[in-house]
Amino acid sequence: MSKATRQAFGEALAKLGETHPEIVVLDADLAKSTKSELFMKKFPERFFEMGIQEANMIGVAAGLAFTGKLPFLCSFGAFLTGRFDTIRLSVAYSNANVRLIGTHAGVGIGDDGHSQMALEDIALMRTLPGMGVFQPMDARDTEQLMDYLVNTWKGPAYLRLTRQNLPDLTPSEHVFNPLKLTPIRKTTGTSKPVVLIGTGGTLGEAVQASEKLNAAGVASEVWNATSLKPFDHETTSKLASSARLMVTVEDHSVIGGLGDCVAEVLATLSQHAPLVKLGIQDQFGESGEGPELYEKFGISASKIVESIQRKLG
Amino acid sequence: MLPATHKSVEELTSLSKEFREWIIEMLTEAKSGHPGGSLSAIDFLTALWFSEMRGVESADRLADDRDRFVLSKGHGVPALYAILAKKGFFPREELKTLRRTGSRLQGHPDRQRLPIVEASTGSLGQGLSVAQGLAMGLRLQGKNSMVYCMMGDGEIQEGQIWEAAMSAPKYKLSNLCAILDQNGGQIDGPVSEVMPIEPVCDKWAAFGWYVMDIDGHDFAEIQKALAEVRARHERGETKPVFIRARTVKGKGVSFMENKIEWHGAAPKAAEAAKAIAEIRAAR
């Protein structure tokens, strides 16, 4: 079964609303797209339609948080980061207990084109002190992450969600810990593996790429990063010490995203495997079918394999 | 919640003179800051904090149902610090730490270091949105508290202000009062030249606010307006209130009044002495 993480988010939010009266939800005329409408229909008195005013919505959410509410504010990630100054001052600098929900991550949204694609959001949000930055890998991960964001996380957090459906990838025996990298596919060989790390929409591509590599005799394994901040330095360091090659795959700019999360760890190690950062290479997105765009921007399974084989020579 | 102690015009006049002195002293000590907009705002803020706001007597009694004040024009914060020192939120001596490394008294309000400022501000245009959220949250909690937000006249050139101006009437926030400290000046010159905002009262009325237009240095007028704001809320009116307070930039120090160069420059010791002598001599 596959599901968009925005859908899993909307369902989880509506469910959490039953047991958490402090949750309030704000949307800026995109409730149908962000799936916050599932909460709206169930709890209209705790849902605020803020109109096409993202900056005001962000400030209002901060004010609501200061009176003890737990606001979830929802829009496309691209439109939230467009109001970065308000997030920076009214939310982050005030340590407002706000959940910023940015849907429509990356080129994976397809047809609508660059203006609607969140491609810099991880990079921007990571720079804000105290801001958690999370991107779940599938529906089950989203559900568990939502529980964590309501019951455990304190202070501001950004949640990055996909428009497109994602395959179920959470391992069945997985013990949820969003702050640790999750092993998705372990290598079977004894040689040093290529280590692929994916996040959100690209994880399924990384898994397929790994299968192709293994079939071609290249040992590889796949890990998932749900938390981009805090980032799991410990596991990343271990992987980088034993890997043949590190490869990050993300539907986001390679500047400041998952690739740089890993690069920042590698830079502290005296010895580590080289790193290939796959993602949007300092380019704008464009219209097209999501899978075609994954191909064009080099983050489809086959393109991942090509990049790795080219690097391995 | 006990009502605020009503203060006489004489008492408020005396308090605001004291605060003007402290503003000059702290800016001189800090060697930087914004005297013009602090001095234009201090009379309104004195009346608001000492004759109207409830539940804000001192830090150890910070109540959930206190009235809230957001200084959206964050650069005017020396005026707020003077008031908070008098109220006992920190020792008066601490005013000397303004803008110093490690101080709670940051150059612009910092909610994490000093929670009573309610919102971190300083990037203009953001405070009214936070105030709107506070008003919505207090109402959800069934509190009757008021939320006040002071904006600068240059500040309302920011687009986000007009988002909040459009939004608050939708939610019928009669517990929200926006105050415009209209001192007519901003860094690059007169507001009327940099980016005209008039007819400002008509604009807020058109957006759905109940508008009052007062002299922002006349304590009796300020007190009357603020009493009406609360009375409107308590009798179930639905509009948020906009008060245009006509003020003088640098008010109370003759060589600073309406001089744009005093927007963001601190006085030197000799200038400070002259300013303080003048403030003390004023009636």
Give A154 to chain B, closest Cα distance, Å: 14
Task: Indicate if A264 belongs to the active site.
Answer: no
Q: Do the chains contact at B130 and A62, CB–CB below 8 Å? A: yes
| Within a domain: B32 | yes
Give A71 to chain B, closest Cα distance, Å: 10
Tokens read off for B104: 């709670």
* pLDDT per position as a tens digit, A255-281: 999 999 999 999 999 999 999 999 999
Instruction: Show the domain range for B43.
Output: 9-281
Of A255, A266, A281, A213, nearest in space to A124 by CA: A255
Nearest-angstrom CA–CA distance, B18 and B46: 10
Confidence tier at A221 by pLDDT (50, 70, 90): very high
Residues of B within 8 A of A88 (CB-CB) are 123
State how many domains chain B has: 1
| Within a domain: B256 | yes
Supply φ then ψ for residue B145, to 5 degrees: -65, 155
Nearest-angstrom CA–CA distance, B99 and B264: 14
Q: Does A89 touch chain B (CB under 8 A)?
A: yes
Tokens read off for B95: 């005013």
Q: Does A108 touch chain B (CB under 8 A)?
A: no
Residues of B within 8 A of A62 (CB-CB) are 119, 129-130, 133
Domains of chain A: 2-167 (3.40.50.970), 182-308 (3.40.50.920)
| Within a domain: B2 | no
User: Which residue carries 């909040």 as its tokens?
Assistant: B164
Q: Do the chains contact at A93 and B140, CB–CB below 8 Å? A: no
Q: Is B138 within 8 Å of B131 (Cβ atoms)?
A: no
* pLDDT per position as a tens digit, B117-161: 999 999 999 999 999 999 999 999 999 999 999 999 999 999 999
Please return the burial class of B194, using the count of CB atoms within 10 Å of its CB with bins 0-12, 13-18 and 19+: middle
| Within a domain: B57 | yes
Q: Does A161 touch chain B (CB under 8 A)?
A: no
**Neighbouring residues of B212: CB distance < 8 A, sequence distance ≥ 6:** B225, B228, B229, B241, B242, B243, B244
**Pairing between β-strand A132-134 and β-strand A227-229 as defined by DSSP bridges:** antiparallel
* pLDDT per position as a tens digit, B160-215: 999 999 999 999 999 999 999 999 999 999 999 999 999 999 999 999 999 999 99
Instruction: Identify which of B126, B135, B138 has the shortest CB distance to residue A86.
Output: B126
Tokens read off for A5: 């993480």
**Neighbouring residues of B37: CB distance < 8 A, sequence distance ≥ 6:** B73, B75, B76, B152, B181, B183, B249, B263
DSSP symbol at A87:
I
Whichever domain contains B152, its CATH number is 3.40.50.970
User: Which residue carries 């402090």 as its tokens?
Assistant: A22
pTM over 0.95: yes
* pLDDT per position as a tens digit, A141-183: 999 999 999 999 999 999 999 999 999 999 988 889 999 999 9
| Within a domain: B14 | yes
Nearest-angstrom CA–CA distance, A47 and A40: 5
Strand partners of residue B152: B181
| Within a domain: B3 | no
Q: Does A90 touch chain B (CB under 8 A)?
A: yes
| Within a domain: B242 | yes
Q: Give me the interface pTM, i.e. the ipTM.
A: 0.96
Instruction: Identify which of A50, A57, A89 has the shortest CB distance to residue B120.
Output: A89
The angle formed by the CA atoms of residues B160, B165 and B166, to the nearest 5 degrees, is 100
